[in-house]
Structure 1
Amino acid sequence: MITKSKYARVGISVLALCIVVALLVAVYFDKLQSAPAEVEINEISDILTAQANQVFDPVLPDSPVRLPSDFAFHNEFQHEWWHFFANVTDENGEEYGVQWSYFRIASNDSNMSGWLSPQIFVSHVVISSKDKVWREQRIARGGIGQAGMTNQPFRVWIDNWYWRSLGRTPFPGQLVAATDTFALELKTATRGPYVIPGERGYQQKHDLLPVASYNITAPFLRVKGTLHLGDDKHVSVTGDAWMSKEWGSGLMAEGQKGWDWFVLRLDDDKTLSVSRYRHNQQLPYMFATLSTNDGKVYEIKSDEIVMEPIQPEAMQNGKQVPTRWFIHIPKYNINLSTRVTNADLWLPFVIPYWEGPIKATGSHSAKGFMQLTGY
């Protein structure tokens, strides 16, 4: 396992953290001063709402996503991120969840390089079992080599964490991340097609305002590798995984509080992704995508979805987070009740949210992940 000097890494991370904190504080107070009194400010809306004094490219419905070229960075847009979720099992049948996220956030629309680069990179890795969580976050300034991307061959990195492949797409690919307390090396390959959700990749997220993003998903993945969980514990695991890439400018509108997002593998050949965007003084906006590994994609509209929280749970930080949900999509005979594997998965990072593995019962016996923001 290759690691950088602990002290060098801490020094770089502290410097980068100061930059990001200064950026976020400035954005926060700017929004606080200009927002109407009835608009609630939270960490998610603060970071992902478009900045009025900056001009980034808009997300438009007549610009279809193209593969493999759109796996590259889109620096003309304000935000970009990757999410990877894996439900894996060791040789003794113990289950683990693995999460890797990689964010690019532009502080302004300039093209400056080096230390003046407007690009901020944030990544985190989380491993969880039914009773324990291993997690770490990295923050970096773009333009100085600490984080970035190459497109051919494909590679994204921050410090000594990276995802790489030999081609222009992420798969077959390898995720490697090492910290002072845990590490992982995972190999991932597709076992089904990519999915371009929404309208050729254009995914609307508000029924009245032009809030949208571009999106690519890989809902059918197989993963295998090793988790290093401290005390010389090396765990060989295999399982299923899911990845998405999303980009845009202003991924939330003023007045949006956050979202509730579920990814569920219904069986070997069907995966469901369902999202619920919450607003102040307005009903939630919902959408879903049902994908099959023979290439069929079904877009599901808000009025076809019933999705309600069943039970809130108090986190250690005092937040009340709904950890159990009911999801009903009559048109496709989907009727699910979800529960979390480990409730202690509020992630107190720069972009904070609850995220972790879930199980569902009802019309299907399903596994997947849940992400809850804005609570």
Structure 2
Amino acid sequence: MGRRHARIPIGAVLAAGVACAMAGGAGFTPQAGGFAQALSPRAFAFPRDHGPHREFRQEWWYVTGNLEAATGERFGFELTFFRFALAPGAAPDAAPDAAPDAAQRPVSGVATPPPSSAWRTRQIYMAHFALTDVAAGRFRFARKLSREALALAGAQAAPFRVWIDDWSLEAASGAAVSGATWTLRAAQPGYEVDLVLDPLTPPVLNGEAGFSRKSAEPGDASFYYSIPRLEVRGRLVRDNHPVAVRGLAWFDREWGSGALGAREVGWDWFALQLNDGATLMFYALRNRDGTRDRHSAGTWVDPSGASRPLTSEEVAIDVLDHWSNARGTRYPSSWRIRVPSLSLEVGVRPVLADQEFRSTPTYWEGAVDVSGTRGGAGIAGRGYVELVGYAAERSSARATGAKALLGR
């Protein structure tokens, strides 16, 4: 995720799970109407499109990456920001809380609207931060959520910045142009990252010139681009001990107002960075009957930077192994991916079996190793895989109407 492709429902479920408390209504259900829809290709402009698109219901900024210390220690990380609108339209005017004066008090038994509050908001932000410590055999994760009010969270295009509290992804000081350096910061008990990201490629438009369909229904789509290779350097703090790290990251960016199709229940997303400079992204949308939906798709970027879309028919994925958590949820855990049109065949295996992010919804997202052949020559790489829709939905999501929101 991002995602992305089909990451829209993650943001929807997370937001629905907290919107009740943030909006102050026990029976709150996010409105579906009144938002802009992704219905056809559009023109992209950078760095503007790194920023928020408030006319759409939801969007996210997704960074995953593999890091190494000078000692050879291996780490994976994920930092994702979600924006979810509670209602369409501009944010309400905010004013400090105050006691009503005579003109605001009920007249003849008719209550007048309460004064605007600086706490009122139409935008909820969520963030996920996960860290895979391979040598220690640890996977740690944390979540933050906040309303946009009072600058507790937010996103902006110029200069680019998205944040919740002290977690952030933003343009480095003085860098306000497309392709400029970014900084990423997040912390949780035991782990902290402070990283610098330099894009090695321009944004790549996925789908049909950045228009990504999820089903045949109008609106079940998003605008979706990636920066599939970012050079990373910086510091990781583990148990109060700083470690210098370097590596590669992947940035996914998506926005829209739809969700999955009525027959779809989840997806398997692959973002693979090969050591010859090529990258492969593919998301397999899963239907209720276990088949792959025909709107599954991906993007191939060759070592020169030229990209082309991949259809579902071009990509074969065989599951070779599984992993089950303590509650019995079973996830795929090893894959063979074949793309005959690219003469590509690779195996994909997690660096740790348990990289499950236990939230609402619970999903698996983790660092992987890649090995295989391309054009008969050996090839290797690293990447990230996301598996959504395998774990049972939690009761908190059902209570807030998220299940209905997803059309399930």
**TM-score tier (shorter):** 0.7 to 0.9
- Distance in 1 separating the partners of 2:287 and 2:167: 35
Structure 1 partner of 2:403: none
Equivalent positions of 1:138-177 (< 5 A) are 138-165=144-171, 166-169=175-178, 171-177=180-186
Among 137, 160, 163, the alignment partner of 2:143 is 137
- Deviation at residue 240 of structure 1 after TM alignment: 1.0
Provide the residue aligned with 1:40 in structure 2.
Answer: none
The alpha carbon displacement at 1:316 in A equals 2.8
Residues of 2 paired with 1:29 and 1:374: CA distance? 24
- Match 1:313 to one of 295, 320, 323: 323
Q: Which amino acid aligns with 2:214?
A: K
What are the equivalent positions in structure 2 for 1:80-95 lying under 5 Å apart? 80-95=59-74
User: Structure 2 counterpart of 1:369, which letter?
Assistant: Y
Higher mean displacement: 169-178 or 248-257:
169-178
The answer to whether the 8 Å contact 1:84/1:243 transfers is yes
CA distances 1:82-119 after superposition (whole Å, capped 9, x unpaired): 11111111111111101111111122224333433221
Q: 1:202 aligns with which of 206, 211, 220?
A: 211
What residue number does 1:64 align with?
Answer: 43
Match of 2:307 among 290, 297, 317: 297
Alignment correspondent of 2:255: 247
Q: 2:127 maps to what in 1? A: 123
- Which residue is 1:373 aligned to? 388
Moved more, 114-123 or 239-248: 114-123
Supply the distance in 1 between the matched residues of 2:258 and 2:217 (Cα, whole angstroms).
Answer: 15
The offset of 1:158, in angstroms, is 0.4
Contact 2:51 2:161 in 1 (8 A): no
Are positions 1:20 and 2:22 aligned together?
A: no
Q: Contact conserved, 2:128 with 2:141, CA < 8 A, in 1?
A: yes
Whether contact under 8 Å (2:369, 2:381) holds in the other structure is yes
Give the CA deviation at 1:152. Answer: 1.6
* Structure 1 counterpart of 2:103: none
How far has the Cα of 1:167 moved from its partner? Answer: 0.8
Q: TM-score, normalised by structure 1?
A: 0.83
Paired residue type of 1:146: L
- My pick for the range that moved more, 145-154 or 204-213, is 204-213
Instruction: Give the Cα–Cα distance (whole angstroms) in 2 for the partners of residues 21 and 311 of structure 1.
Output: 39
Bigger radius of gyration among the two: 2
Stretches of structure 1 lacking an aligned partner (at least 5 in a row) = 1-15, 31-50
Gaps in structure 2 of 5+ consecutive residues: 1-14, 93-117, 374-378, 391-408
Q: CA deviation at 1:334?
A: 1.3
- The structure 2 residue matched to 1:104, chosen from 75, 83, 89, is 83
Distance in 1, matches of 2:151 and 2:120, equals: 13
Aligned residue runs from structure 1 range 334-353, under 5 A: 334-353=344-363
Q: CA deviation at 1:250?
A: 1.4
- Tell me how far apart the structure 2 counterparts of residues 339 and 207 of structure 1 sit (CA, whole Å): 32
Aligned with residue 234 of structure 2, among 225, 232, 239: 225
- Deviation string 1:138-195 (CA, Å, 9 cap, x unpaired) is 1001222110023221111100111121315473011112334321100010122221
Higher relative contact order (CA 8 A, sep 6+): 2
Partner letter of residue 235 of structure 1?
Answer: V
Change (3 A) 1:356 1:78: same
TM-score normalised by L of structure 2: 0.77
- Does the CA-based 8 Å contact 1:82-1:245 persist in structure 2? yes
- Note the C-alpha offset of 1:281: 3.6
The AA in structure 2 aligned to 1:339 is: R
Are positions 1:276 and 2:278 aligned together?
A: no
CA 1:210–1:283 in structure 2 vs 1: closer, same or farther (change >3 Å)? farther
Larger CA deviation: 182-191 vs 64-73: 64-73
CA distance in 1, matches of 2:82, 2:33: 19
Change beyond 3 A, Cα 1:169–1:147: farther
Instruction: Note closer, same or farther for the CA distance 1:283–1:221 as it changes in structure 2 (3 Å cut).
Output: same
Counterpart CA distance in 2 for 1:305 and 1:86 is 23
2:52 to 40, 53, 73: 73
In 1, Cα distance between equivalents of 2:233 and 2:264: 38
Deviating beyond 6 angstroms after TM superposition, the runs of 4 or more aligned structure 1 residues are: 26-30
| Equivalent residue pairs, number | 338
Q: 2:265 & 2:148 partners in 1: Cα distance?
A: 29
After TM superposition, give the deviation of residue 67 of structure 1 in Å: 2.1
AA aligned opposite 1:287: A
Q: Percent identity?
A: 28
For 1:184 and 1:290, the matched residues in 2 are separated by 30
Q: 1:212 and 1:98, CA in 2 relative to 1: closer, same or farther beyond 3 A?
A: same
Deviations 1:22-59 (A, max 9, x none): 589x99997xxxxxxxxxxxxxxxxxxxx675221110
What is the DSSP-based 3-state SS (H/G/I as helix, E as strand, rest coil) of the residue aligned with 1:66? coil
SS in 2 for 1:120: strand
Q: Deviations over 1:327-350 (max 9, x none)?
A: 111000111221111122110123
- Does structure 2 conserve the Cα–Cα contact (< 8 Å) formed by 1:154 and 1:170? no
